[in-house]
Amino acid sequence: MKIILMGPPGSGKGTQASFMASITEVNSVSSGDLFRDNLSRDTELGRMAKTYMDRGKYVPDDVTIGMVMSWIEAPENKKGFVLDGFPRTLLQAESLDDRLGAIGGIDKVILFNVPEPELIKRLAGRILCRKCQTPYHKVFSPPIKQGFCDMCDGELFQRQDDSEAVVRERLSVYTEETSPVIQRYKELGNLIEIDGSLSIEEVEQSLREALE
């Protein structure tokens, strides 16, 4: 079973990737995992990626695809895989399909749909203690005393990356990049959309049904 999970940041697909992997008895991987792994093993692709990352540039698609393909072709992934958040651009999707050619294409692409206001509530609610770094969430795990850490009474603050403006920008970049990918898999007939705003248990149930 060859599966792709797609969904915006905050849609919960990362959480569900390991669940999917466990019920289909294959391994899951995200592009972040692959970067970390290639950097730590100091592979040729890892060193190439690092030259871009060190300059604050995006890693080119062919480097990312190289990492994904060498992972897919490893003996332990022969029976299938779950890709978490890859491909993200149309070019990546086309190259992936080309390179998978010989072993057959993707079976299912599962798209986690979550309305934007809910994503913003999830992503822009993160706050941290300035002193001990304990994380809180304004809605889901607020501190007892507003603005202060339960552990050390330190001041709570929000990282720039978690501000609403930055979150909105990230979501709009995501939508722009992935719309053509979603369209492609829709046309190929293997896109399954699920409601990612439901509870974890309900999402797990939808995933089980999606696999039937």
Q: Does 154 bind Zn ion (CB under 5 A)?
A: yes
Do 38 and 46 meet the contact criterion of CB atoms below 8 Å apart?
A: yes
The residue within the footprint of Zn ion, chosen from 103, 132, 188, 200 (CB under 5 A), is 132
Q: Does 151 bind Zn ion (CB under 5 A)?
A: yes
Q: Which is nearer to Zn ion, 108 or 126 (CB)?
A: 126
Q: Which residues contact 176 (CB under 8 A, 6 or more apart)?
A: none
Query: Which listed range, 44-52, 108-116, 123-131, 196-204, lies at the site for Zn ion (CB under 5 A)?
Result: 123-131
- CA angle (170 as vertex; 175, 111 as ends), nearest 5: 40
Query: Which listed range, 7-15, 95-103, 149-157, 188-196, lies at the site for Zn ion (CB under 5 A)?
Result: 149-157
Q: Does 157 bind Zn ion (CB under 5 A)?
A: no
Q: Which of 50, 88, 168, 184 is catalytic?
A: 88
- Catalytic, 130? Answer no
Q: Which is nearer to Zn ion, 103 or 152 (CB)?
A: 152
- Catalytic, 88? Answer yes
Annotated active-site positions, please?
13, 88, 126, 159, 170
